[in-house]
Amino acid sequence: EADIYQTPRYLVIGTGKKITLECSQTMGHDKMYWYQQDPGMELHLIHYSYGVNSTEKGDLSSESTVSRIRTEHFPLTLESARPSHTSQYLCASSEYEGYRETQYFGPGTRLLVL
C-alpha cells in the first residue's frame, strides 16, 4: 500500500487568501506530481518534480507554485485563492523499474473558495 499523505483533506476559504496544500510520501520516490480534477472530468497536471530542487510546470500551473526542498515533501501554494480554484487536488509520487513507472496517489484535498 502506498504511503502518500495530503493535508488538509477539506478546505473552505475566502477569495484572496493564500493557501498551501501539503503532500508528503515516505517511499523515497524522486518523482512527484500535483493534479487538479473537477467532478467527472479528467485529471490535469499542474506541476511535477523529478527530485529535490527540481520543479516543472504542467498544463494548469500559471496560478500556483510548488517547491521541492526535501524528497518526501511537495507542497502546492495558491497565492490568492479564487472561486475558479474550487476543485479536488491530487498529489502523486512514482517509482521506476527501468522505464516502467507506477504512480501512487494520495487521498486528495477538496478545496472550496467562496
Partner 1 sequence: KQEVTQIPAALSVPEGENLVLNCSFTDSAIYNLQWFRQDPGKGLTSLLLIQSSQREQTSGRLNASLDKSSGRSTLYIAASQPGDSATYLCAVNGVYTPLVFGKGTRLSVIA
Enumerate binding residues for partner 1 (CB under 8 A).
Answer: 6, 33, 40-43, 45, 48, 58, 88, 90, 92, 99-108, 110
CB of 16 to partner 1, least distance (A): 27
Kindly tell me which of 56 and 79 has the beta carbon lying closer to partner 1: 56
Residue at grid coordinates 495530503: 6
Closest to partner 1 by CB, 47 vs 85, is 47
CB of 39 to partner 1, least distance (A): 9
Of the candidates 36, 26, 110, the one whose C-alpha atom is nearest the C-alpha of residue 74 is 26
Look up residue 71 and give its DSSP letter: T
- Of the chain, the end-to-end C-alpha distance in Å amounts to 35
Do 19 and 109 meet the contact criterion of CB atoms below 8 Å apart? no
| Least CB distance to partner 1 at residue 21 (A) | 13
